[in-house]
Amino acid sequence: MPDPLTLLLVALAALVSLFMAWVIGAGSAGATPFAPAVGANAISVLRAAFVVGLLAFLGAAVQGASISAAVGRGLVHGVTLSPMAAVVVLLLAGGLMAVGIATGIPIATAFTVTGAVIGIGLALGGTPAWAKYQQVGAVWLLTPVVGGGVAYGLARILSREWMPERLSIPLLAGLVGGVVANVELTLFAPPGESGSLATLVGSWLATAVPTFGLERLLVTALAVVAATLVVGLDVRRDETGAMNRFLLALGSLVAFSAGGSQVGLAVGPLLPLFDAVAVPLTAVLVGGGVGILIGAWTGAPRMIKSLSQDYSSLGPRRAISALIPSFLIAQVAVLLGVPVSFNEIVVSAIVGSGMAITGGAGVSRRKLLRTVGAWIGSFVLAFGIGFGLYSGLEAL
């Protein structure tokens, strides 16, 4: 049985983590997934906040383990964050995020939490996890290039007369369907592991018919064909309505991915503490998901409006072009266990698609530069304050 002081620290840490989850839900996880859909007038701001909260909660519960472990144990070697250090990490990062929400500036949650964890961990005597930093840095630097580039290419294709919506939308749906079939979830594997729908169905298929080791590929191909046919039939019945429904489906996938990624930023620093009192990881993830859900319902509408209207005016084609790379990058980050900013992902994709259709005329360069400055500044500030604060405490 843990001593009373430990239990008190656990309770305090849980409250701080819940606050951080609320901030994430009100900001990055709650605002960015449906911002392009709102900008394209496919869904209202309030309805988007409601739906994204539910989907982010589900993503947190079934896909949040990898990034939680990376944030809690993989950013600094040789030390474990003390309970008080973990509380300070979340208060510092959450405070910076709250400033972003109040001002309408989309500060990146991943940058603030990562900076705070590394700064405090190094001040406590830890050694840098250089291999992880290289991986994280590569994802952060490549996100605007890859996300913006893919969004630009898709927007150019969708705007061409030789690629009508009745052909392009089903093909894109097939691509997304193949990826969805291979998304790793805890639902499709034994406890403590993750697996994909393609792996699960493929194992059943292999017991019934000869597959020659290609069962996962076969299931993926079936998912591609099924998604292409379903959306293709929908497009033939109602082209405009089908495009909006596909757009909302993409927003839902991004919202789910946001929950799976961002919950780790709220609960990851506390994993060593919760391990000490035998709190199951699933319970920790569900608790973080609840905080994100409440944040999305109560605080996300302001940020959704900011992203969907202030950066540029979006149409359905441009919004689809932005959401597809957002979903793909988010799932790659979850697979690698890299904390990633959904603000960075979606804003880069919005700008990329805007450059293809409007030549950049609809993109607010001032807003964009202000946002990039906020991202960089939040990491530097979180790292500097965290390192300086704990270095001073160690000296005393």
Note the maximum CA span of the chain: 72
pTM, entire model: 0.88
CA–CA dist 379, 111 (Å, integer): 5
How many CB atoms are closer than 10 A to CB 69? 15
Which residues touch 20 (CB under 8 Å, ≥6 apart)? Answer: 90, 93, 94, 97, 113, 265, 266, 291
Give the pLDDT of residue 53.
92
The amino acid sitting at 359 is: G
Cα(258)–Cα(64) distance, integer angstroms: 9
- C-alpha atoms less than 13 angstroms from C-alpha of 220 in its C-beta half-sphere: 13
| Domain coordinates in residue numbering, the chain | 4-395
347 within 8 A of 322, measured Cβ to Cβ:
no
Residue 312 pLDDT: 47
Residue 147's nearest CA partner among 334, 343, 368, 293 is: 343
- Determine contact, residues 69/38, Cβ cutoff 8 Å: no
- Strand, coil or helix: what is 213? coil
Distance CA 151, CA 380 (A): 29
Per DSSP, 161 falls in state T
Tell me the two tokens of residue 332.
Answer: 């790659």
> What are φ and ψ of residue 128, in 5° steps?
-65, 140
In 3D, which of 53, 36, 70, 46 has the Cα closest to residue 326?
Answer: 36
Helices (H), 124-214: 130-158, 165-181, 197-208
Give residue 311's pLDDT. 47
Residue 36: predicted pLDDT: 72
- Is 209 strand, coil or helix? coil
Per-residue pLDDT at 115: 94
The pLDDT score that the predictor gives to residue 145 is: 92
CA angle at 125 for the pair 336 and 76, rounded to the nearest 5°: 0
Q: What one-character-per-residue DSSP string does 254-318 give?
A: HHHHHHHHHHHHHHGGGHHHHHHTT--HHHHHHHHHHHHHHHHHHHHHHHHHIIIIIS----HHH
Mean pLDDT, 10 residues at a time, over the chain (396 residues)? 70 84 81 76 85 93 91 90 82 77 73 93 92 94 93 88 84 95 84 82 79 82 95 92 90 92 90 79 91 90 72 70 92 92 83 74 69 84 89 72
In this prediction, residue 363 carries a pLDDT of: 60
By three-state DSSP, how is residue 80 classified?
A: coil
Sign of CA dihedral 385, 388, 389, 391: positive
Which two tokens mark 85? 């250090």
3-state secondary structure of 167: helix
What does the pLDDT read at residue 88? Answer: 84
pLDDT at 143: 93
